[in-house]
Amino acid sequence: MPAPSRSPANGHDAVTGTLLRLVRSEPTATRASLIERSGMGRTIVTQRVNELVDVGLLAEAGMDKSTGGRAPRTVRFRREAACVVGIELGVSSLEVALTDLAGRALGFHEEAWDVTRGPDATLDRIDSIIETLLATHRPPGTPMVGIGMGLPGPVEYLSGTPVAPPVMPGWAGYPVKERLTSRHEVGAWVDNDVNVMAMGELQAGNAAGVRDFLYVKVGTGVGAGLVSRGRLHRGAGGAAGDIGHIAVADAAPLPCRCGKRGCLETLAGGAALAAAASAKAQDGDSPFLAARREERADLTARDVADGARSGDLTCINLLKAAGEQIGRALAAMINFFNPSLVVIGGGVALSGDLLLAAIRHRVYDLSLPLATRSLRVEMSALSNQAGMIGAAFTAIEELLSPQQLTTWTHHLTDTSPPQQTATA
């Protein structure tokens, strides 16, 4: 290992990492408060804060460079110092946001997109969206320093490649992270969509400040994101949270796409609800679904939610049964993981309160009293921008880690964006 340089914001530097975290969590930080909160000596705190000010990540609050004079004592995190790109790729949609270093959107773009068009076409389209966003929404002189992306399938986080993704034909093993990095010459991090949403909840949603929580996405499939002691638990191979294929029934009628029977996803996901809705429409059990089916051949989970809201008993029972299966699986996960908060999100969950009620019913019925004593089960309060903002935070958290800081902060001291050559 080469000896690290002694340049500002040194890599692997526990001191700089600690100080940056403290400043971000305290709007009115001063050198004195940082010395007290970090327990570190005056000399090193002053030195590292000065380095972070020099490099442009912190600013003396209220100080105007042009006026000069003695700097006031408060320092703040310069969220405007750089911008990042957050990308959320769904099965049928693509969302891209440009945000500052606090995850606030400077601009964004959404469009319908079919993930089965494959990685080359998709990433070409993303490149062009990023270029447009940078051209129209990037503040002058602000470098774009990183990209975060969520994919609708399992991702090996370290390499940033999809692994056997069931709904993404052609994507298996494709070097998504590498391609983003080489095309845009910045760090890129790729994760599955559920972890990206959990990151969004942790940074800007219901889970802000919560140490141990679960994010559960009920969309076409069902998946979970785990947070332990305030950080994502991705697991040994980045596969943690894959609850869609937990066996919840011994004698299930339909085999799962994974080849087994009784998987949670065959009984409770959006795809399972859509299949059940079609069957019920055909049987004549549901006047609402039968009517819908005359308008469109393919029924979806949204039709079931609409039916439930209109009072159709079959639809109500379908949603209740799905919620109870999810709640049953969740009760086991809650006994095992003991979170203080479960946030339910995803398209199917957000379509109505009935599913949440059924999930809660089973969770509180089947989990141990010790595990539910102070447990909250809540619907996600984030808007439908949560995916791309969570993806942006995936990049931001990596960029501000001590391991990454030196790789990009030199761009901040340039007088021009990194694409151009700085004039000396």
Nearest to 187 by CA among 399, 403, 391, 387: 399
Question: In this structure, are residues 319 and 357 in contact, taking their beta carbons and an 8 Å threshold?
Answer: no
Following DSSP, what letter does each residue of 220-273 receive, concatenated? SSEEEEEEETTEE---TTS-TT--TT-B--SS-SSB-TTS-BSBHHHHHSHHHH
Cα–Cα–Cα angle for 390, 394, 395, nearest 5°?
Answer: 120
Helix (H/G/I), strand (E/B), else coil: 219: coil
**Binding residues for a second copy restricted to 138-177, rule: CB under 8 A:** 154, 163-164
| Position among 131, 185, 231, 313 found at the interface with a second copy (CB under 8 A) | 231
Residues 61-120 that bind a second copy (CB under 8 A): none
Smallest gap from Cβ 198 to a second copy, in A, equals 13
Select from 328, 397, 400, 411 the one that contacts a second copy (CB under 8 A). 328
Residues contacting 180, CB < 8 A, separation 6+:
123, 147, 149, 160, 188, 190
Binding segment (CB under 8 A) for a second copy, from list 132-140, 317-325, 329-337, 416-424: 329-337
Q: Interface mask (CB under 8 A) for a second copy, residues 209-228, using x and -?
A: --xx-----------x-x-x
Using the rule CB under 8 A, which residue among 366, 379, 401, 417 binds a second copy? 366
Phi-psi group of 230: left, alpha or beta (phi > 0 → left; psi -120 to 50 → alpha; rest → beta): left
Spatial distance between the Cα atoms of 280 and 419, rounded to a whole number of angstroms: 57
Q: Does 11 bind a second copy (CB under 8 A)?
A: yes
Least CB distance to a second copy at residue 363 (A): 12
Contacts with a second copy: how many residues (CB under 8 A)? 65
Point out which span in 4-12, 56-64, 345-353, 386-394 binds a second copy (CB under 8 A).
4-12
Q: Which stretches of the chain bind a second copy, using CB under 8 A?
A: 1, 3-4, 6, 10-15, 18, 36-41, 44, 154, 163-164, 211-212, 224, 226, 228-229, 231, 233-243, 245-247, 250, 258, 260, 328-329, 331-333, 335-340, 366, 368-371, 373-375, 402
